[in-house]
Structure 1
């Protein structure tokens, strides 16, 4: 076996390993995405259905007044649900709640 053949075999080996690494990186990205989704589900599981609706609108940047119009609820109801979300997350503002959620994503 001459030098050229050895070099070609070495290159083939490196390419094979590189292909395996690309596949592994792809698999790890899928696992990472699944973990992110599970964290989000676990985070949101602590809320009632109504609180999830309010929180989803908060994530989109809606104000209490906008939430009231979108959800057809009284302002006091929206405020109570927002307060409940803040208590459950142990934060003092909806911005903090949104930031906390985004950190897990």
Structure 2
């Protein structure tokens, strides 16, 4: 590819990089909005669930009472309006699968 060809597509590449950056920023924003529904303690429990830890593994965390973890889990499920932690994690993961083009103007 000659320098002329590279220079001719450079503006398109710059535009595409800017578009992709906007999409990534939207994903991060959606993730923050999702997590801000939860308290800091609930976010910690939920982050462990996202990382693939089962509820029983989460309950084994030092310095956290089983009762506290159960209450936080119950609160997470209520706030996210979902019957199970597995479905709550799926909701979170779906944030990254939803088309961000709805939020970003594309040409």
TM-score (norm 1): 0.80
Higher RCO (Cα < 8 Å, 6 or more apart): 2
The residue that corresponds to 2:68 in the other structure is: 77
**Residue among 18, 22, 26 paired with 1:27:** 18
Structure 2: gaps of 5 or more residues: 97-107
Partner of 1:94: 85
Q: Deviations over 1:77-98 (max 9, x none)?
A: 1111111101101110111100
Q: 1:65 is matched with which residue?
A: 56
DSSP-derived class of the 1:72 partner:
coil
**Separation in 2 of the partners of 1:80 and 1:50?**
11
- Which has more radius of gyration? 1
The two structures have a TM-score, normalised by structure 2, of: 0.78
Aligned length: 95
- Unmatched tracts of structure 1, length 5 or more: 1-11
Distance 2:82 2:8 in 1: 48
Detail structure 1 runs of 4+ shifted over 3 Å in the superposition: 12-17
